[in-house]
Amino acid sequence: MQPPLNFDIKAWHLARRVLPNIVLTPDFALLLHSRSITDISKHFRITNLAMAAALNSIISLVTGSGGESSTDSTPQLDLLAEPQELDPVEYKKLAPLFPRSHKKGDPVPRPVLRRVDFGKYPSSKLSQYADLGAYASVIDNAFTLKECDELLRMAESSSEEGWPIAQVNIGGNEQILDTSYRKGDRILYDNQRLANKLLARIMPLVAKDIAYIDPADAPTGKGPLGWKSTAAKRRADKFRLTRLNERLRFLRYPVSGFFKNNKESSLFTFHLYLDNNTGDVPLKGGATRFWESGAQLVHEMSPAKLKKRGLKPPEFYDVAPIPGRVLVFQHAYLVHSGEPITEGIKLTIRTDFMYEIIPQEDEEIEYRKHLDRNGLLADEIPVDPQDEAPPAADN
Q: Is the separation of the CB atoms in 142 and 111 below 8 Å?
A: yes
Does any domain span residue 191?
yes
Residue 389 lies in a domain: no
Q: Is residue 10 part of a domain?
A: yes
pLDDT of residue 336: 80
Q: Are 42 and 106 within one domain? A: no
pLDDT digits (tens, 9 = 90+) for 42-81: 555 544 444 544 555 554 444 433 333 333 445 567 899 9
Give the per-residue pLDDT at 332.
80
Co-location of 163 and 187 in the same domain: yes
Alpha-carbon gap, residue 202 to 359, rounded angstroms:
26
Q: Is residue 355 part of a domain?
A: yes
What is the distance between the alpha carbons of residues 202 and 224, in angstroms, rounded to a whole number? 19
Residues 129, 60 share a domain = no
How far is the CA of 273 from the CAs of 140, 141, 253, 312, 346, in angstroms?
Answer: 10, 11, 12, 31, 8
Domain end call among 71, 95, 130: 71
- Report pLDDT for 113: 97
| Residue 137: how many other CB atoms lie within 10 Å | 22
Residue 383 lies in a domain: no
For residue 392, tell me if it sits in a domain: no
292 and 218 within one domain = yes
Both 36 and 118 in one domain: the answer is no
Asked if 125 and 317 touch (Cβ cutoff 8 Å), the reply is no
Same domain assignment for residues 333 and 218: yes
Quick one: 302 and 329 in the same domain? yes
pLDDT along the chain (395 residues), means of 10: 43 53 48 44 49 50 38 65 93 93 91 95 90 93 94 86 55 40 74 97 96 84 76 86 93 61 64 76 83 64 63 82 94 82 88 92 92 74 49 53
- CATH number, domain at 199? 2.60.120.620
CB 331 within 8 A of CB 230: no
pLDDT at 121: 92
In this structure, the answer to whether residues 235 and 183 fall within a common structural domain is: yes
Q: Give pLDDT, residue 195.
A: 96
Same domain, 49 and 156: no
pTM value?
0.71
Q: How many domains does the chain have?
A: 2
Per-residue burial over 356-378, b = 16 or more CB atoms within 10 Å of its CB, e = otherwise: eebeeeebeebeeebbeeeeeee
* Domain shared by 63 and 202, yes or no: no
Q: Which domain holds residue 2?
A: 1-71
